[in-house]
Amino acid sequence: MTLKCPRNIALLTLATCFSLFAAAQSYAQQPVPSAPTPKTPPDTQTPKSGIQVPSPGKIVTVTTLVVLPVTVKDRSGNLVPDLKKDEFRIFEDGVEQQVFSFTAEAYPLSIVVLIDNDLKQKDADQVEPSLRAIVGGMSTNDEATVCRFDQNFHEGDGFTRDQDKLLTQLKRVSKDVAASAKNGAPAPGDPFSGPTINNAPAPGVNPINTDPGVRLIKGQSTKALDDAVFSATQILKERSSEHRRKIILLISDGENGAKFNTHKYEEVRSELFRQGIIVYSVAVGSSYLERKFSRLVSYANDTGGEAYFGVKSNTFEDFYSRITEQARNQYTLTFSPMGDRKVDYHAIEVRVRREGLTIKTRQGYYGGTFAEPPR
């Protein structure tokens, strides 16, 4: 017996379709779980130090540039302003380097005027009236501070671009230099420093080096020139070296007491190199046979500056304007060192393809004295 009920089958089929449709719609409305975030591979994770550790195979390029201020003069001592980039050659440790960038742009100056406060009377008489002429060689964008030294370093009032304020500083220092020479510096063998009355410290002056075990050799200098230059580098340390020259204008008779310095010459030179500071020395003294200017010459030559020798006030005034002009109008070369980097100190030589020219730049640099490439 065959059961025929087409209507019931149709209703059953329709109900099944509705049920399947509702189930599908309900599944579509369920939230879909997001894919888990992949963990950073151990070789590319950022450690607590914040330094990104490269993964194997990743190429990291570290760009380092050495900046060289360069002075070029002709046989007459005049600055040569028309050299081009391809006329310069740079050698590091005897290996020629590629000149990365070149400019003849004039740079403003940050100057520490470092004045010997322990000069003989006749030398002080020559220097004192000339000091105010330093302002005449400065531009409105230059900044300077005036410091003195003897056995100790006497810091000035800080950097200023105000030429009136700077002139006031120089006037005060020139009076101090004159007074120091007039009152008399301690003769070699004296266990104290400062003005004297009847061979004894003036009232209010504290004796120094009174240790009976310290004896000064007759004729030995009691000045700490190396320490003074080092102290000047620390003042310049905070000045920006970007688009600015840092220089020390050292005015002294060159006397330097080894026992009174805590910093050796090599340490001071290293600091000058690391900061890119140039020293210009003005040697004071009427008798060259009795003076030893080796320290003044060494600081100038090693840093790419120059040493000047004069015996008259008007010659000092000329020196100041020549120094600031020269420092402001140097060529600036940069290069990215190539070759063995295992040693810390690297000797530098700069040559030009023209003949008959004199080139001055620093004698070398220490690893780490680099600049960011220009953007």
Rounded to the nearest 10 degrees, the angle between the axes of helix 294-303 and helix 225-236 is 30
At 223-237, the pLDDT tens digits run: 999 999 999 999 999
Asked if 44 contacts 53 with a C-beta cutoff of 8 angstroms, the reply is: yes
Is the pLDDT at 362 greater than 80? The verdict is: yes
- Give the residue with greater pLDDT, 340 vs 287: 340
Q: Cα–Cα distance between 254 and 290 in angstroms, integer?
A: 11
Q: Cα–Cα distance between 31 and 36 in angstroms, integer?
A: 15
Tell me how crowded residue 195 is: count the other CB atoms within 10 A of its CB: 16
The identity of residue 168, as a single letter, is: T
Pairing relation of β-strands 345-352 and 331-335? unpaired
At 139-148, the pLDDT tens digits run: 999 999 999 9
What lies within 8 Å, CB to CB, of 249 at 6+ separation is 111, 112, 113, 114, 134, 280, 282, 320, 323
Which SS3 state, helix, strand or coil, does residue 333 take?
strand
- Per DSSP, 310 falls in state E
Q: Cα–Cα distance between 118 and 260 in angstroms, integer?
A: 14
Q: Which of 281, 277, 274 lies closest to 114 in space, CA to CA?
A: 281
Q: Given CA atoms 116, 117, 119, 122 in this order, what sign does their dihedral have?
A: positive
Pairing relation of β-strands 345-352 and 364-366? antiparallel
Q: Cα–Cα distance between 159 and 165 in angstroms, integer?
A: 10
Each domain of the chain, given as residue ranges in start order, spans: 66-104+333-366, 109-192+207-328
Q: Where are the alpha helices (DSSP H) in 223-331?
A: 225-236, 265-275, 294-303, 313-328
Is the pLDDT at 62 greater than 70? The verdict is: no
The vertex-341 CA angle with 337 and 346, nearest 5°, equals: 70
For the CA atoms of the chain, what is the radius of gyration? 35
Confidence of residue 354 (pLDDT cuts 50, 70, 90): very high
At 30-54, the pLDDT tens digits run: 454 444 444 444 443 433 434 344 4
What lies within 8 Å, CB to CB, of 118 at 6+ separation is 149, 150, 151, 180, 185, 222, 223, 255
The domain made up of 109-192+207-328 has a fold known as Rossmann fold (3.40.50)
pTM of the entire predicted model: 0.72
Which SS3 state, helix, strand or coil, does residue 315 take?
helix
Q: Cα–Cα distance between 243 and 9 in angstroms, integer?
A: 94
Asked if 296 contacts 319 with a C-beta cutoff of 8 angstroms, the reply is: no
Q: Cα–Cα distance between 30 and 99 in angstroms, integer?
A: 66
Q: Among 32-36, 64-68, 197-201, 265-269, name the most confident range.
A: 265-269
- Per DSSP, 280 falls in state E
At 156-181, the pLDDT tens digits run: 999 999 999 999 999 888 888 878 77
pLDDT of residue 230: 98
